[in-house]
Amino acid sequence: DAGVIQSTRHEVTEMGQEVTLRCKPISGHDYLFWYRQTMMRGLELLIYFNNNVPIDDSGMPEDRFSAKMPNASFSTLKIQPSEPRDSAVYFCASSAGLTTEAFFGQGTRLTVV
C-alpha cells in the first residue's frame, strides 16, 4: 500500500484566497483525521470522519474551515478565505478499527502570504 497520500507538500496562497488540501487515506481504513501542526500549538485535531461521516469537528477553528469526505478514498480540507495565521503544516491520517494506530501522510505545508 502507498500509505496516506497528501499529494501537495507545499502550498502557497495569498490572503483572501480559497485553498483546498487533499488526502487519500489507506484503502480499507474507516477513520480519517485532519490535524494541524504549528510551533505554538503543536498538533491539533481539526476534524475526523468515520465511514465518510464527520464525527467530531469541534477542533475546526472557524467557519472559514470546512472538510468533506465524498467517498472512502478521498477527503478535502478547505479554507475560505485564507489568512496568514492559517499558515501551518496540515496532516491527514487514517486508521482501521477501534484500537489501531493512525497512519499519517507527509503533510502539506501551507503558507498564506
Residues of this chain that interact with another protein (CB under 8 A) are 4, 31, 33, 35, 42-43, 45, 48, 50, 55-56, 91, 93, 95, 98-107
Q: Minimum Å distance from CB 56 to another protein?
A: 5
DSSP 6: -
Nearer to another protein, 1 or 101 (CB): 101
Residue 62 CA to residue 107 CA, distance in Å, equals 21
Q: Minimum Å distance from CB 13 to another protein?
A: 20
Q: Minimum Å distance from CB 39 to another protein?
A: 10
Nearer to another protein, 15 or 43 (CB): 43
Nearer to another protein, 71 or 99 (CB): 99
Query: Scanning the structure block, which residue is given the C-alpha cell 478499527?
Result: 97
Q: Minimum Å distance from CB 17 to another protein?
A: 25
The C-alpha cell that represents 26 in the structure block: 489507506
For residue 34, the one-letter residue type is W
Burial readout 91-105 (b: 16 or more C-beta within 10 A, e: otherwise): bbbbbbeeeeebbbb
β-strand pairing of 53-56 with 108-112: unpaired
Nearer to another protein, 56 or 83 (CB): 56
